[in-house]
Structure 1
Amino acid sequence: MATLMGCAGAGSDPVYSAFNREAGALIDTGNFGNATMNNTLIMNGEKQYTYDLSQRFASEVLTTVNFAFNSSVLDAGAHDTLREQANWIRQFPEVRFRVYGHTDAVGSNSYNKSLGLKRAQAVVRYLASQGISTSRLEAVVSFGETQPLIVTEGKERRNRRTVTEVSGFVAGNRMVLDGKYAEIIYRDYVRSAQAPTGLTGSAVTELSVGN
């Protein structure tokens, strides 16, 4: 019996199971290359600019919408919040966004992961209906019940939510290829300092003197 149990348990042993997989399976756990990618993003500035833009997004619009218990249906408040998000996102066609789904702790972990993903997908669909390309929106991550805002086993509405975040820049976009990340982030600030189009040089001077 002990021998049989040992054989049965061997299937879950990573060294034993490696004989039935491709060479190097134990070495490459899916994170191979992450260090190089992270260094590249830091060196070209993209990582910092992604963080800066994410901070600005979070400070200027509501990034979270909440849901009824055991539901992925967007209510009127969610629609208002997502319209604000869409208006902000439209200003930055070079930027990608990710929607994270969350649940409360009621129910199994597998069920809550599925529900969290449905909530994220509902948000992506609504943003798409507001004219945002789905190529810039991701709803592939669901934390389920694992990251509560309020630690409780009960039905806590604040834990039943999605969070929209900046995830990076669109590969191949002209601005990104030129490395003009700062110009992307501060685009509307730069525009606000520019003279209205159609004014002559003398008109601009008069406006400046008048101010």
Structure 2
Amino acid sequence: MLKEACVENFTNVPELISKGAGRIELCDNLTVGGTTVSHGVAEVTINYCHGKNIKVMAMIRPRGGNFVYSKEELEMMKQDLVHLKELGTDGVVLGCLNDTGWIDEEAMITLLDLAKGLEVTFHMGFDQISSGNQFKAIDWLVKHGVNRILTHGGPADTKIADNLVRLKEYIDYANGRIIILPGGGVSNKNLHLITSVLNIREVHGTKIVD
């Protein structure tokens, strides 16, 4: 079982790795769902993790709030992605929607082109896509080479244990074409329940290890 620990700075990274974190999602400002970290945090964390043979997934998000970005914000994301790629991140975590609640296809294709050679996770912006379009969104992300989808399986204010049926539907529909990565409330306390019901190999959370 690969445990991806979500962190908002370097401080706890050594301890989390020592306790079993197998991958790090690196972001800032977790209170708003995560934004892009500074150069210094990124460089030190990536170098440390690579010294421990641990991969780093870096958040590409210029602000909190919704996932509909202006052309200026998209430009920030492009520059941050290129910069983090140069620093050696193993992957990026991103997602763009339009004002109809669908994937901003043009923005995503631009970012995915810059991310070639990296792993890509589409983040919990996925949960803002209307439920009727989420299976179509899985198909689109598969077609465009995205590696995984980080999802809570429902609204952010729900317990992830109450969303297992929906998460299982995503997993069954994806059918191995893309990794469905449950997150948002996964902890070492409910980890066994979630992994046994969903039969998954990767999980994500801020409290994923003891």
Q: How does the TM-score come out when normalised to structure 2?
A: 0.31
Whose Rg is larger?
1
TM-score by length of 1: 0.31
Higher helix share: 1
